[in-house]
Structure 1
Amino acid sequence: MDDSKISGLDPRALCLGDSCFLDDEFLLSTKELFFRYFGGMRNSGTNSYELDRISSAIFYLRSLLKRKGVTGKNKVALEIGSGKGMKSIALADLFERYIGIEINQLDLRQAEERNREFGTGSVDFICGNATDILENADAHGIPQKIDVLILYAVLEHLTLQERTTVLEIADKVMQSGGQVLVMEAPNRLIPFDSHTFQGHFFNWLPDEPANELARAEAQDPQIKKMLIPWHEPDAHVRLARAGRGVSYHDFSDFLRDPESGCAFLADGFDVEMLNIEPFDYQQFQLFGYLDANVQNVNAFVFSRRWLDFIMEKRRPYRNYQIKKFISPHWPNWAKFDRPPLFWQPVAVILSSCNPRWTYEAETEFVSEITLLFGAPEKRGRMHIFVNGGKLYEIDVLGLVTSKPTIWHNDHSVKLTVNTVIQELRIEIDVSDGPILFQGCVLSIS
């Protein structure tokens, strides 16, 4: 991504209507970060994988935190497992103070170097075990009250005991009025492990056979090198450090009483997250199963390939959104004679032969609609009709140019409607297409 592409970036393109609280100052700071941080890392020869992670943190994660009211110049953010500082530098200016704890000294030194060269906010990096450090917070200059705890790609690398301890810390943050961000935790309930083994059913196996399978067949040679025979000391710790899946079971203490326990401010179906990670059949099927069968487990939170959410102690004055997923195959869920291709998106194709999709609602008040779609040719227009009247028009090319290029070509846009919906219709011009329409999420008030 060159400087001319950076100039056109605008996270507000993801939110149409009055629901987006990203002001001009925020937009300016985001672009400035891209030029200085992303541009500097690009020019220093950073690999494309790390550049994509930096890009998604600057463009999507900053926007999500800002839009959900998590940021603030009077707030302290603490990140456990801050690594090389990629997220810290992207987020620090949104808070009064940002603290990163990292156990790997080499990674922490690299984070400090990056922060000196590219940072804007007040980032304090501390080297050591987070549990030990937080037990003696005063000695490390850490305030007793943490407003935002960030667990980004960290839970999967902890032993079960360490996870329990970290989630106890998370609970203390929430009990004191703070919020907890969990990001990029690989979902153990998804059949294909995209994190450690790069193969099927790895996270469904008990630790010992999983360890031996990964030692023999893991795609990443670094993982093979990291793991040792199960009978040797610390084999279970090494397996944890390589990465094991996370699921709603790890958060069961928070989920038992949904009325007075924790609530979710954001999840993997928020527009920013849907732009980072497409919604494929594995997630589609898990979503349907959780939604229909597992009580007190929010399918929107726990069905994505990567668990991404913000949680807090339920607040009686806050109006938490209720969501409803509408399949692209509405009114019926898809029926196939054989299982679909593993990575195939959940989609219907809108084209000149089939230019429209219609959903007939049961007369419900909807505040927001989040659309999911792909556009292989990166062009075309989508016309959004509510109750027969045209409400929005989406220029696909304009959307593509407003976003950084990362990983894939799927898109998501959030529309503010604030009306009772009886019919929702999506149309494309017959000369456009194809558009791979992947369904939508209704936020019901």
Structure 2
Amino acid sequence: MYKLFDQSQFFRGSKWDFDIARANKTALEKYQSFYSAMELSGLPPYDLDRITTAIFYLRTMLIRHGMIGQDKTAVEIGCGTGNKSLSINDLFGRYIGIDLLKDQIHEANRRARSLRQENLFFVAENAVRVLNNPSAFGIPDEIDLLVLYAVIEHLTPTERADVLALADDVIGRGGHVLIMESPNRLLPFDSHTTEAHFFNWLPDRLAFEFAKTEAKRSEIVAEFDSWSGERSTEQLYRIGRGVSFHDLEQVFSSDLVDYSFPMHSFCCETLNMEPIQHQEINLLGYLSRNVPGKPNASFARAWIDTIIGGHGSETSDVRYLSPFWPLWLVHEEPPIFWQSPSKTLSSQSAQWEAEPNIEGASEIAFCFTGETAEIAIEIKDCTSDRFELVNLTKARPTRWHNSFSVAYKVDKPLTHIRVRCLSGSVQFNGAFVSVKSQRPTRRRPPAFRHSESR
């Protein structure tokens, strides 16, 4: 019988180099302790969903990319009341959350004490001030993981520069930086602030006026007055402005080609969190063709989810195999941007086959939308597998969509792939192949300290 938090339903086969059974066990324990306590306390559904997402998806990302360990220190900027912190703190020796809002830090500390989380503490302070003098706050100089979860988009340009300079410092000292759920300014539709087209492409003043009438977060925007320069800019960024790799390029001490991106936004976890969209595929294709050398796989989805490191470690790029292989995309009419590219597969219809001839692939994720189909996947010299979508439904937390992604570890060239629907019917949305490459070794930049804008 399948149960909640069964990652083996999504990471299929025996070649994965992380302990799936242990990942399931610790996630379920965290869910039964932290999530259950917050549910009993009356935490709103939105916050409970954020906790579930962190426990089921974020933990697996960190585990399988080697970010965890009892000898490691993690620091989260913009931790709020600790929803994310308390979902993953047991994966580290020490976990520190920082936020400016004292009432939220008070609540986070109260939760940590009530749950007896002794490796976790929170600081109500300016993050730049704390990390410029970490020993004064009981924080080690060497940070292994800096967590920026849904925070960069709410910072003003000056604050972004300060925080990303800290991130570059962490990377330069051998650590990694996690960026999660930051809205992508390169896409035409704003999913975060206004739910309208082109908001993130508008200059600040025009975006400010636009947000007053279009923003979905009306309780904040209702307080907007007329444009008044710096104060209005701050209001605009507080509700959220998009992020892209340009923010990093303006601050980081070296070109982005010198950094590693071991996790990209098209991995199995993020594909299960959010269905793939036409606009994301189109942006990935545009960046890959016109902006080579950039971390395109980390900055082509509606939400930016990535891990950044340095010092010659591996990076992951991605190649998309369309459901209309070998063509990139085929449409009789322009697609609806938020829908997934798809081809119907059923026991009566044709199968999907591809001969991509990709060398150096490390894993492949297949995307489907449906509820009751039985599917067979064959990867030459790698795997022959079959599964039922209903079992995937039972194995993960309830989501607002019925899109699924399953992944396979590969260690041979991808020469022939076949997908069949054995019973029922399913929409096949394509596959994403992760290709590992080695980034050049960076020189370690000198230690530096930054201004205190927050």
Match of 1:312 in 2: 309
Match of 2:428 in 1: 437
1:9 matches 2:5: yes
AA of the residue aligned to 1:97: R
Q: Deviations over 1:140-161 (max 9, x none)?
A: 1111111100000110011111
Specify the SS of the correspondent of 1:392.
Answer: strand
1:409 matches 2:364: no
CA contact (8 A) 1:267 1:301 kept: yes
Q: Deviations over 1:287-334 (max 9, x none)?
A: 11111111322221110100000010142xx44444321111111122
1:370 matches 2:361: no
Question: C-alpha distance in 2, partners of 1:210/1:308?
Answer: 25
Match of 2:157 in 1: 160
Specify the SS of the correspondent of 2:52.
Answer: helix
Say if 1:24 and 1:140 are closer, same or farther in 2 by CA, change over 3 A.
Answer: same
Please list, as runs of the form range in 1=range in 2, the aligned pairs for 1:88-167 lying within 5 A after superposition.
88-118=85-115, 120=117, 122-167=119-164
Aligned counterpart for 1:218 among listed residues 215, 218, 238: 215
Match of 1:395 in 2: 388
Task: Please say which of residues 148-157 and 244-253 is displaced more in the overlay.
Answer: 244-253
Specify the SS of the correspondent of 1:420.
Answer: coil
CA contact (8 A) 2:375 2:386 kept: yes
Offset at residue 355 of structure 1 (A): 4.3
Match of 1:289 in 2: 286
Aligned counterpart for 1:245 among listed residues 239, 242, 245: 242
TM-score, normalising length: structure 1:
0.92
Offset at residue 196 of structure 1 (A): 1.2
1:338 matches 2:333: yes
CA contact (8 A) 1:187 1:247 kept: yes
Question: C-alpha distance in 2, partners of 1:119/1:158?
Answer: 32
Question: C-alpha distance in 1, partners of 2:319/2:253?
Answer: 20
AA of the residue aligned to 1:219: K
Offset at residue 223 of structure 1 (A): 2.5
Offset at residue 443 of structure 1 (A): 3.0
1:72 matches 2:69: yes
Question: C-alpha distance in 2, partners of 1:117/1:321?
Answer: 40
Task: Please say which of residues 387-396 and 179-188 is displaced more in the overlay.
Answer: 387-396
Question: C-alpha distance in 1, partners of 2:25/2:361?
Answer: 32
Unaligned runs of 5+ residues in structure 2 are: 437-454
Question: C-alpha distance in 2, partners of 1:184/1:145?
Answer: 25
Task: Please say which of residues 185-194 and 378-387 is displaced more in the overlay.
Answer: 378-387
Q: Deviations over 1:196-229 (max 9, x none)?
A: 1121111111111111111223222223134332
CA contact (8 A) 2:194 2:217 kept: yes
Match of 1:361 in 2: 356
Say if 1:255 and 1:350 are closer, same or farther in 2 by CA, change over 3 A.
Answer: farther
Q: Deviations over 1:102-139 (max 9, x none)?
A: 01122222222222234645111000211122223222
AA of the residue aligned to 1:417: V
AA of the residue aligned to 1:398: N
Say if 1:403 and 1:291 are closer, same or farther in 2 by CA, change over 3 A.
Answer: same
Aligned counterpart for 1:299 among listed residues 293, 296, 301: 296
Offset at residue 438 of structure 1 (A): 0.9
CA contact (8 A) 1:95 1:121 kept: no
1:188 matches 2:179: no
Offset at residue 20 of structure 1 (A): 4.6
Question: C-alpha distance in 1, partners of 2:396/2:364?
Answer: 20
Offset at residue 368 of structure 1 (A): 2.0
Aligned residues: 434
Aligned counterpart for 1:228 among listed residues 217, 225, 230: 225
Say if 1:201 and 1:22 are closer, same or farther in 2 by CA, change over 3 A.
Answer: same
Question: C-alpha distance in 2, partners of 1:255/1:411?
Answer: 38
Unaligned runs of 5+ residues in structure 1 are: none
Offset at residue 247 of structure 1 (A): 0.7
CA contact (8 A) 2:262 2:314 kept: no
Match of 2:321 in 1: 326
TM-score, normalising length: structure 2:
0.90
Offset at residue 363 of structure 1 (A): 6.4
Say if 1:273 and 1:226 are closer, same or farther in 2 by CA, change over 3 A.
Answer: farther
CA contact (8 A) 1:359 1:425 kept: yes
Offset at residue 249 of structure 1 (A): 0.8
Question: C-alpha distance in 1, partners of 2:164/2:140?
Answer: 19
Question: C-alpha distance in 1, partners of 2:229/2:314?
Answer: 52
Match of 1:44 in 2: 41
CA contact (8 A) 1:287 1:303 kept: yes
Q: Deviations over 1:42-91 (max 9, x none)?
A: 23222222111110100110011000000110000000000121100001
Question: C-alpha distance in 1, partners of 2:45/2:350?
Answer: 37
